[in-house]
Structures are given as structure tokens and as C-alpha cells.
Chains A and B, each alone.
Chain A
Amino acid sequence: MKMKIKAIAVNTFKESARNKMFYLLVFFGILFALSSKLISFLTLGDAMKVLKDTGLAAINFFCILIAIFTGINLVYKEIEKKTVFNILSKPVSRDQFIIGKFLGLALTMLTALAAMAGIFFLFVLVNGGGFDLMILLYFFMLFLELLVIVALSLLFSSFTTPILSFIFTVSLYLIGHIMWTFNEFKMILRDPFWKYFTQVLYYLLPNLDKFNIKNEVVLNTPLSPWTILFSVLYALAYIPALLAVTILIFRKRDFQ
């Protein structure tokens, strides 16, 4: 069973790595991260802060794009090109197919992130920033966020078209970063039904801001180990839940 999943994962990784869009986005991610130096020239005071801010934001943005673009296409393409018949006609279950796809995408994201992060670390070092362990922690948290995004895009990709998957994933990504407003919104609601509904949405939708430690990393403000632990546990619980829903939907799909 493990070998089958591994084979699908490796194949997914190779397929993603062959995609020109992947290289283009990695290239632009690196380019924008390096161009943060130009923006830092415009500021007064701590230029390193601006350099790290813009660099990390660029890497974050392009990694999210890679996660979405690769995630929304993978399963859909297999169905569209009918290659899924080929795979599923072999002794490979639908569950293994989805898990393999997810792991392959995770490996793709790890490669893209490692490339961008490595270059960014060098760039900060060259600019006199020194090796900052907190940035490494930031990349780890970003990787967790990317895994959630990949799981989301895979979920949508399993039952709808790439355009709709893109819209849904981007919407959830944006909402996921303003989940803190739900709690405030709940406070101003009077109707108990809507209060309850908002509360349910708060727990149901991905709270991606849990993985956002950019401010703490760049401003060197203290970060509680509990926050990190909670975020890791959140990802460890949320991703399997998303994969379980994806598998359930994929099991029900009738391929013509």
C-alpha cells in the first residue's frame, strides 16, 4: 500500500516539476524577494526590517500561487485526460490516489519553498542580516499553511472545474486570513441563529492566520511556544479532515 502511494506521490511530483508554470512562479518568487532590496532603499530607519518584510511576503505570495495552481489542476486533469481510468484500473484504491496526490504536491511545495528560502537566507546574509532562526520557523509555518492550501485545492479539484476550484481556494485563502474578524462580527450580531452560524463558520473554515508569524519574525516580538504547538496541531488535525472529505467525494464520483 505504501509503495503505491509513494509511486503516485513521486509521479505527481515529477508531473508538477515538469510544469513550466511551476518554474515561472518560483523564478518570480525569487525575483520579487530579491527586489525587496530596492524597496528597502526607500525607507528610513531599519531597512533590514523592510527587506525581510517584503522578501517574506513575496515568497509567501508566490508559494500560495504555486500551491493553488498546481493543486487545482492535478485531479481534474487526470479526469479530463481520462488517465485516472488507467490508474484506477490497476490495484490502486481511490483513497491511495488522493493521498498520493497530496503527498506529491506536498513534496513539490517543499522543493519550491526550499529553493526560495535558501536563496532568501543567502540574500539576507549578504545584506548583513545574519542567520535568523526565526525566519526558519516562519518557513516551517508557511509550509504548514501551504499544506492546508494544497489539501483545499485538491478537495475542490476532486469535484469541480479548475476555474471554480481557483475561485473557491482563493476565497478560502483570503477568508482564512481574516478569521479573527469573525469573533468581532459575532459580538455585534443579535440574532442567536446568526451568532451560532458565525461560530460554526469560525470553526469550520481554515484559520490560516494561525500560521502567519511574519510580524513576530520581522519585528522580533516574543512568540509563545504554545502558539507554534497549537498551529502544528491545528494543521495535523485540519489536513487529514480535508483529505477525508476529498476521499469521500472522490469515492462517490462516477467516471464516465
Chain B
Amino acid sequence: MIPGRLLAAGCLAGLLLTAGMQNRYDATFDYFAERGTFVALPSGKALKVLSFGYSNLAADLLFIWSIQFYSTPYLTNRFDFLEKVYDTITDITPQYKEPYIIGSLIMVYEARDIPMALRLLDKGSRHNPDEWFFDHDAGYYCYKFLKDFTKAEFYYNRAAAKPDAPTFIKRLGAHMVYLHDDPKVAYQMWLDIYNHARDTLEKDAAFNHLYQIKAQNDLALLKERIGMFRNRFRRWPDHLSELLGAGLLPSLPSDFAGSDYLYDPEQGTVSAARVFRWKRH
């Protein structure tokens, strides 16, 4: 009969030996590189059938796998099936919100495919019509990466119309209108935000934008009329009120805060009291 101690020692030695062999075997190939290719992924519907009632778990596991897979930077072909993978996950459980958000992040920042991300976010918005963040993210990607302010405005406005949407989304929409050079409409949108602001922060933000848009329009008009004055009288006006006397302006505009614009009679330049460079392209 084999003594117990000998059996325990044999068991321990066997375990150590297999662990060592496993370690050597793992070192012979690149596990992540091996994962670089996969032949085919069943469709969402097929996976739903194959998961036999555990569809949520199947979506979780595929999503977790995708996070690990797409965060392996040196796999060059890893984006080949990116849209298919996230379509499958979201087909299995269309109400699972994270895959839309994380998937679009991967599509934008890793795969650099904004239209693909927008398609995924559109799908998220379609299946979760009360959630605002899909449209918010889509709007941001259009603004930041595509510079398509009209499209961004569309997404922000759609997000702002959803229940529980934060107030800043409406402001983002108004800013997009301004960026695609429609200051009159942008001014009206900001005025609406200003008049219906629910807190000081929102009111102040709207004030700044209104101030800037009004100043931009007023200063352009004043510069034009000062130029006309100089052409007519061969000198700069001593005061802005001279423009009224010359019949070049019916009344002097003031900034959104109600103050006069600053005028330099030496240079003939006019400026607003507050100047922000907030129009960034």
C-alpha cells in the first residue's frame, strides 16, 4: 500500500509539473495575437436562440470579450468586424445601454470611423427612445470630429427633447446653430434659454452667449458706419453719437448688459467691454 504522505507528495509534484509545463506552453505563443482573427460570429438572432433563455448573459460575455479584444492595441485587423460585433450584442439585448456607448467610443477613438459610431448610436436611440445620452454623444462626435454643426444641432435638439435631458444639451444645440453661422436663429435660441433658465449657471451661460452674439453683430455694424463716416468727412468721428447726426444710424446700439460700446477716436476702433474668443472651429 502506498503511504499517504507519498501520495500527497506525488500529487503536489504533479501539480507543480503541470503548472510549469503550462507556463512554458503559454510562453510559446502570443495569446492576444492568436485572438486576432475569428472566422464568423453568429447573428444576434442566432445567438439569442442558441443562448436558450440566457440571452442577457450571452450579451454580457460578448461585450466583456469585446472590451478586452478592442483594447489590445497591436492587433491591426481587430476592427474588421467591429460593427458586426456591436450589432450582435445590441441585437441580443437592445435595451442594454453600455454597448452602444462603449462601442461608439471604440469606433470613434480607436477605429476612427465616425459614421459607424453614429449608426450604432442611432440604433441605441431607436431602441431606447427615452434616453438622451445616445443623441448627446452623436451630437458631440458630429461637432468634434465631423465639424458638421447642422447634424450636431439635429442630435442635440433631439436629445434635449427627451425626458430628463439635462439643460446643458439645449445650450449645446444653440451653440451649434451659432457655429454653422446662423447668429440670428442662435440669438433667439439663447434668448429662450435665458428667459427660461432654471438656475444661475444656466442664466449666466446664456447671458455670455447673448452678449457675444449681440456684440459681434453690433460691432460689425458700427465698424461699417464708422468707415462710411470717414469716407464722407475724411476723419474719424469724435464720438459715436456723431454717427446719429450724420444720419448713418437711427440709434446707438448698446451691449446685452445695457452698456455703451467702447470707442477710440484716435484709431476709429470700437470694442465691447467683455470679449471672449469662444467661437472655435
**CB within 8 Å of B: which residues of A?**
39, 42-46, 49-50, 53-54, 57, 60-61, 173-174, 177-178, 181, 208-209, 212, 214-215, 218-219, 221
Contact = CB atoms under 8 A, between A and B. Distances in A.
Given A42-B64, A43-B98, A219-B96, A181 B57 contact: no
Given A50-B60, A50-B64, A208 B102 contact: no
A57 B68 contact: no
B60 A39 contact: yes
A61 B68 CA distance: 26
B54 interface: yes
A177 B54 CA distance: 9
Contacts of B63: 43
B53 interface: yes
Given A219-B93, A219-B95, 19 more contacts: A43-B63, A43-B64, A43-B67, A44-B102, A45-B97, A45-B101, A45-B102, A49-B98, A53-B57, A54-B60, A57-B54, A57-B56, A177-B53, A208-B53, A215-B55, A215-B93, A215-B95, A219-B56, A219-B96
A62 B93 CA distance: 23
Contacts of A178: 49, 52
A53 B52 contact: no
A45 B98 contact: yes
Interface of B is mostly: helix
Residue of A49, A181, A215 with highest tally of chain B CB at under 10 A: A215
Contacts of B60: 39, 43, 49-50, 53-54
Given A39-B60, A54-B57, A221 B101 contact: no
B110 to A, nearest CB: 13
Given A214-B56, A215-B93, A219-B95, A42 B67 contact: yes
Interface in B31-84: 49, 52-57, 60, 63-64, 67-68
Nearest to B92: A215
Contacts of B57: 53-54, 57
A61 B53 CA distance: 10
Given A44-B102, A53-B60, A177 B52 contact: yes
Contacts of B96: 49, 219
A54 B64 CA distance: 12
22 contacts: A39-B64, A43-B63, A43-B98, A44-B102, A45-B97, A45-B98, A53-B57, A54-B60, A57-B57, A61-B54, A174-B52, A177-B53, A208-B53, A212-B53, A214-B53, A215-B55, A215-B56, A215-B95, A219-B56, A219-B93, A219-B95, A219-B96
Nearest to B96: A219
B56 A218 contact: yes
A209 B96 CA distance: 19
Contacts of B67: 42-44
A61 B57 CA distance: 12
Contacts of A44: 67, 98, 102
Contacts of B53: 60, 177, 208-209, 212, 214
A214 B59 CA distance: 13
Nearest to B53: A177
Contacts of A212: 53
A60 B54 CA distance: 9
Residue of B52, B54, B60, B64 with highest tally of chain A CB at under 10 A: B60
